[in-house]
């Protein structure tokens, strides 16, 4: 795959500005951006909604949250612990996504730009 036929590297200061513009327009980069934003943006919205739902429930529905589920452990504690679980889950999903879908493409574009292959 090539982004561009001409040599892109200029001097030792890294790729020149024109090379970045070309790289940005390349289908490879468009795909990388789509994959990055397609995961990170909706996931950010999701965890913020989930977190603020927990905060709002705790603040405005304390009686409901205080209902025991198991012994003295109530709904509030369970939902709080679920925030830990969801944080761990999102972290794991993102790392998997980045390793599989983002890194190979990013490396390809970077090496093309820096002329290391």
Partner 1 sequence: MNATAGSPLVNMAIFLAFVAITMVIVIRASRQNKTAADYYTGGRSFTGGQNGTAIAGDYLSAASFLGITGAIALTGFDGFLYSIGFLVAWLVALLLVAELLRNTGKFTMADVLAFRMRQRPVRMAAAISTLAVSFFYLLAQMAGAGGLVSLLMGVTGNVGQSLTIAVVGILMIVYVLVGGMKGTTWVQIIKAVLLIAGAALMTMWVFSKYGFSLSDLMGAAAGNSPLGEKLLAPGAKYGVNTLSKVDFISLSMALVLGTAGLPHVLMRFYTVPTSKEARKSVVWAISLIGLFYLFSLVLGFGAAALVGSDVIKAAPGGANSAAPLLAYELGGTLLLGFISAVAFATILAVVAGLTITASASFAHDVYNNYIKRGQVSADDEVKVARIAAVVIGVFAIVGGILAKDQNIAFLVALAFAVAASANLPTILYSLFWKGFTTRGALWSIYGGLISSITLILFSPVVSGKPIPEGATKSPSMLQGVDFHWFPLDNPGLISIPLAFFLGWLGSVTDPTKSDAVKFAEMEVRSLTGAGAEKATVAH
| SS3 label, residue 9 | strand
Between CA 109 and CA 103 the distance in angstroms is 10
The angle at the Cα of 25, spanning 20 to 30, to the nearest 5 degrees, equals 110
List all residues 6 or more positions away from 31 whose beta carbon is below 8 Å from its beta carbon: 105
Distance CA 26, CA 73 (A): 54
Min dist. Cβ of residue 6 to partner 1 (A): 16
Q: Minimum Å distance from CB 91 to partner 1?
A: 5
In the list 10, 53, 91, 100, the residue contacting partner 1 (rule: CB under 8 A) is 91
Binder to partner 1 among 11, 27, 43, 104 (CB under 8 A)?
A: 43
* DSSP category for residue 93: H
- State in angstroms the smallest separation of the CB of 96 from partner 1: 11
Binding site for partner 1 (CB under 8 A): 14-15, 17-18, 20-21, 23-24, 29, 32-33, 36, 39-40, 43-44, 47-48, 51-52, 54-56, 58-60, 62-63, 65-66, 70-74, 76-77, 80, 83-84, 87-88, 90-91, 94-95, 98, 102-103, 106-107, 109-110, 113-114
């Amino acid at each position: 795959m090539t982004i561009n036929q001409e040599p892109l590297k200029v001097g030792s200061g890294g790729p020149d500005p024109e090379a970045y513009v070309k790289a940005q327009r390349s289908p490879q980069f468009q795909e990388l951006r789509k994959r990055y934003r397609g995961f990170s943006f909706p996931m950010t919205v999701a965890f913020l909604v989930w977190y603020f739902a927990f905060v709002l429930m705790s603040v405005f529905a304390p009686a409901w949250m205080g209902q025991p589920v198991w012994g003295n452990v109530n709904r509030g504690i369970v939902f709080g612990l679920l925030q830990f679980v969801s944080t761990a889950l999102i972290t794991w999903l993102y790392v998997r996504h980045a390793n599989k879908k983002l890194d190979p493409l990013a490396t390809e574009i970077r090496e093309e730009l820096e002329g290391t292959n």
